Structure 1
């Protein structure tokens, strides 16, 4: 049984220390930190501006009262926190819109990052294919030429 246990522990150690797992863990940690930055950006910079435009003080605090207990005065419900303490059912549309803006910003940044990574990967793959085919790009006219060429047949530039 102890041999089996050692095998399991060694197998787990090999799995946990694999490069992809560590890369994933680093990505999750950086992603969580990035999410905090985006949330702060939205809550502290974007939403106050939206609040000014819409006439509210803090757009994240915008809500509609859906159901109010009989013993609660409607005018006493001035924030989501107070509404929750008093047992008032609210529709918190400001917070929801803030969360949507958070998501859109994160999705846009990830889109830009993936697009950049794909572009870098595609260009490096093109270079690998060109090297395998024995070609290179002319640094002047960007035409595909033989890898051993000293002069570009298209623009006649000297290539060193």
Structure 2
């Protein structure tokens, strides 16, 4: 029973929940960036390079063959076009994360740089209060 209680405490902690939300949003963000690269950035670049689709760029290491049983054996290829596309994905994701972290750090710096309100003057001690009363009485006479 103690193990279940410990797991509940662990799972409900803010850091674990924040991490789970971050992973889910990160996965969705990765799909958006991949679509951005695949569907918006790479087609014009491929067009500029003579209608090349980067996904199809590969080097054949071994041609496709058929074995003795008549079954097709797929070609062995080095898919460097997909690698280029994934590198572009990574660069864009890393740059966006860099900008996000930079923005968060600037906001934190502004909060730290905000001047703290001046501290309230200390309350007079009982002896100071008594001296003030004596002063006021002397002024009245």
- TM interval, shorter chain, is 0.7 to 0.9
Which residue does the alignment assign to 1:93?
80
Task: State whether residues 47 and 60 of structure 1, in contact with CA within 8 Å, keep that contact through their aligned partners in structure 2.
Answer: no
Structure 2: gaps (5+ residues): 67-71, 120-141
Task: Point out where structure 1 has 5 or more consecutive residues left out of the alignment.
Answer: 1-5, 72-84, 136-160
Query: Which structure 2 residues correspond to residues 70-89 of structure 1 after superposition, within 5 A?
Result: 86-89=73-76
Give 3-state SS (helix, strand or coil) of 2:116's partner: helix
- TM-score normalised by structure 1 residue count: 0.66
In the alignment, which of 116, 123, 136 is matched to residue 131 of structure 1?
116
Deviations 1:27-48 (A, max 9, x none): 1000000000000001111111
- TM-score normalized with structure 2 length: 0.74
Whose Rg is larger? 2
What is the CA–CA distance in structure 2 between the aligned matches of 1:86 and 1:46, rounded to whole Å? 34
Structure 1 segments of 4+ aligned residues over 2 angstroms from their partners: none
* Superposition deviation, residue 56 in structure 1: 3.4
Per the alignment, residue 11 of structure 2 pairs with: 16
